């Protein structure tokens, strides 16, 4: 193998290896609902595999073959072929594992694939670098070539491919890139012309098989990872799947949305048939007398934004959503798609915390955040003291910050510690620097006057009026002993959170993410 060939093989091998790792992390992140430790476990399996592969490759590098010997290219081609096929099979291995064992056992497949892929670099270095006084420098060049290829794999696959194609398509493309590398090695190998031609034809056939087989082998991978033991070949299929570089959004047949594998609400704005806990969005009207300018972090199904945009007094709603895939999703559902053309609504694709940092001049009467699960990766960015202080700086006098704690005692304590006035509304916390209350009269006025796209939120009949009175009575729960689905004053929230051993969340301690290292979520 010539030195130039060694550089090229090292680069392409790095591209393939890191591209596959991007896909593997996407799969494990979805299966674990974005568990913070999932990446660490994947990386541990990957590095363990690399170490084993490098050690095994050492046994292949003890012969006296001279660098540049093209006879070795055939052996390297066979080895690279096996490594690519095994790596291509890791994604379906996660799907098969989820049915019975959830996702951790599939890390063994990651380790095996990484071992095979990792053995390519030392083998290439052995066969492509002459043992002379330039060996050290040439080794550094081969290693640099591998790093460049690896970085390209991460960037191209992570930022381009994931926005263009589905996981299935990308898996087939990377497999074909691997087959092209194998074909190049075969073409340069020293062997009879007939053997070379037969090898190239066989590789072409294998590439076609891989492309044709990928849709079947990767079939319903997201359903398998979400439903786990409940997955059924005949009936379990998502209604919608939207894949972007920002994540995977899936919708079940009953309209339940899962973002990155985690429950993300339902496409429903009905308060009468409340499948979404949507009354919590309406409750903003009971706590703030006139929320004219509202800022919302997170769009998801669009149901919350649709409700808040139609609250009395709201003149402008600015929504920041990090995943543009939700805009695609919302456009498909009549109940929420008018949100995209509502002149009062501005939707920005960005990170919510970054947007607030970049717009210090903006002030809002209310900031609303239907936060994802408190233990998911990066949730600290939206629950910490530092973030709450950032929101405080963007509130107008009398402004209210209203967000989902997902029942985290840490999040409740943090909010009630930072702000002097607080009220728990079910699993939400409403906090402010100014006194406020859940006003029964405003609550009733909100429920009776509010419409969505011109339709009243409650029917004007006996059933609607009876349900209205049930909702209005919710305001009285603040005077009752604390219950999980009711209202609770700040002092009681702090006392109960302290008794539960809660801690204040900071950017440094990330306590809400790391209270429990492993979590296994039940299927829908």
Residues 364 and 490 in one domain: yes
* pLDDT for the residue 63: 62
> What are 1-42's pLDDT values in tens digits?
688 889 999 999 999 999 999 999 999 999 999 999 999 999
- As given in the structure block, the two tokens for residue 472 are 């209005």
519 found inside a domain: no
Residues 276 and 358 in one domain: yes
Give the pairing of strands 455-456 and 451-452: antiparallel
Q: Cα-flanking dihedrals φ and ψ of residue 255, to 5°? A: 85, 10
Residues 241 and 211 in one domain: no
Tally the residues of the chain.
524
Instruction: Please give the C-alpha separations between residue 518 and each of 11, 262, 515, in angstroms, as whole numbers.
Output: 35, 15, 9
177 found inside a domain: yes
Residues 17 and 64 in one domain: yes
Residues 216 and 280 in one domain: no
Q: What is the CATH number of the domain that holds 364?
A: 3.40.50.150
Residues 192 and 335 in one domain: no
516 found inside a domain: no
Q: What is the CATH number of the domain that holds 78?
A: 1.20.1250.20
524 found inside a domain: no
Taking the model in full, what pTM does it have? 0.94
Q: Please tell me the total count of domains within the chain.
A: 3
Residues 281 and 233 in one domain: no
517 found inside a domain: no
* pLDDT for the residue 56: 86
Residue 80 domain boundaries = 3-221
- Which helix or strand (DSSP H or E) is residue 454 part of? none
482 found inside a domain: yes
82 found inside a domain: yes
- Spans of the chain, pLDDT less than 50: none
Instruction: Please give the C-alpha separations between residue 29 and each of 153, 231, 258, 261, 436, in angstroms, as whole numbers.
Output: 19, 18, 12, 8, 40
* pLDDT for the residue 371: 95
* pLDDT for the residue 31: 96
Residues 45 and 96 in one domain: yes
328 found inside a domain: yes
> What are 34-75's pLDDT values in tens digits?
999 999 999 999 999 999 998 888 777 766 655 555 567 888
Question: Given 221, 237, 254, which residue is the final one in a domain?
Answer: 221
Residues 295 and 338 in one domain: yes
* pLDDT for the residue 285: 97
Residues 335 and 257 in one domain: no
* pLDDT for the residue 199: 93
Residues 239 and 380 in one domain: no
* pLDDT for the residue 295: 98
- As given in the structure block, the two tokens for residue 438 are 């859940």
Residues 280 and 241 in one domain: no
């Amino acid at each position: 193998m010539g030195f130039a060939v060694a550089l090229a093989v090292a680069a392409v091998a790095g591209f393939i290896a890191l591209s596959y790792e991007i896909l593997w992390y996407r799969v494990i992140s979805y299966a674990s609902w974005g568990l913070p430790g999932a990446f660490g476990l994947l990386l541990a399996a990957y590095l363990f595999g690399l170490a084993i592969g490098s050690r095994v490759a050492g046994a292949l590098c003890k012969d006296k073959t001279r660098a540049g010997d093209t006879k070795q290219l055939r052996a390297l081609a066979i080895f690279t072929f096996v490594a690519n096929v095994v790596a291509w099979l890791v994604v379906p291995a996660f799907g098969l594992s989820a049915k019975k064992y959830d996702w951790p056992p599939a890390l063994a497949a990651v380790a095996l694939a990484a071992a095979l892929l990792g053995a390519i670099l030392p083998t290439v270095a052995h066969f492509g670098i002459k043992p002379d006084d330039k060996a050290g420098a040439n080794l550094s060049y081969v290693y640099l070539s591998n790093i460049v290829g690896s970085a390209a794999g991460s960037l191209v696959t992570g930022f381009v491919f994931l926005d263009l194609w589905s996981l299935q398509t990308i898996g087939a493309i990377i497999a074909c890139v691997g087959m092209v590398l194998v074909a190049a090695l075969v073409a340069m190998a020293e062997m009879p012309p007939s053997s070379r031609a037969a090898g190239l034809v066989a590789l072409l056939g294998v590439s076609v098989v891989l492309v044709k087989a990928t849709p079947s082998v990767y079939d319903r991978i997201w359903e398998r990872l979400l439903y786990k033991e409940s997955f059924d070949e005949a009936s379990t299929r998502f209604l919608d799947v939207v894949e972007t570089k920002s994540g995977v959004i899936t919708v079940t047949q009953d309209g339940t949305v899962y973002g990155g594998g985690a429950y993300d609400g339902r496409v429903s704005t009905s308060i009468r048939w409340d499948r979404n806990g949507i009354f919590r969005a309406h409750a903003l009207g009971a706590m703030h007398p006139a929320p004219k300018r509202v800022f919302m972090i997170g769009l998801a199904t669009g149901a919350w934004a649709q409700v808040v945009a139609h609250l009395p007094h709201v003149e402008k709603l600015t929504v920041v959503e990090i995943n543009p895939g939700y805009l695609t999703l919302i456009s498909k559902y009549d109940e929420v798609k008018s949100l995209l053309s509502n002149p009062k609504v501005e939707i920005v694709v960005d990170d919510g915390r970054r947007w607030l940092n970049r717009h210090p001049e903006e002030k809002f009467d209310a900031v609303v955040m239907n936060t994802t699960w408190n233990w998911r990766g990066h949730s600290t960015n939206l629950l910490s003291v530092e973030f709450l202080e950032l929101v405080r700086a963007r509130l107008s006098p009398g402004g209210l910050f209203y967000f989902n704690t997902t029942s985290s005692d840490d999040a409740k304590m943090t909010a009630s510690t930072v702000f002097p006035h607080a009220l728990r509304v079910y699993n939400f916390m409403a906090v402010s620097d100014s006194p406020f209350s859940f006003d029964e009269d405003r609550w009733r006025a909100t429920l009776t006057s509010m419409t969505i796209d011109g339709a009243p939120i409650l029917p004007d009949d006996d059933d609607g009026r009876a349900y209205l009175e049930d909702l209005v009575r919710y305001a009285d729960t603040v005077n009752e002993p604390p219950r999980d689905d009711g209202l609770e004053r700040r002092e009681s929230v702090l006392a109960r959170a302290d008794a539960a051993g809660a801690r204040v969340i900071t950017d440094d301690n990330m306590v809400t993410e790391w209270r429990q290292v492993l979590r296994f979520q039940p299927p829908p």
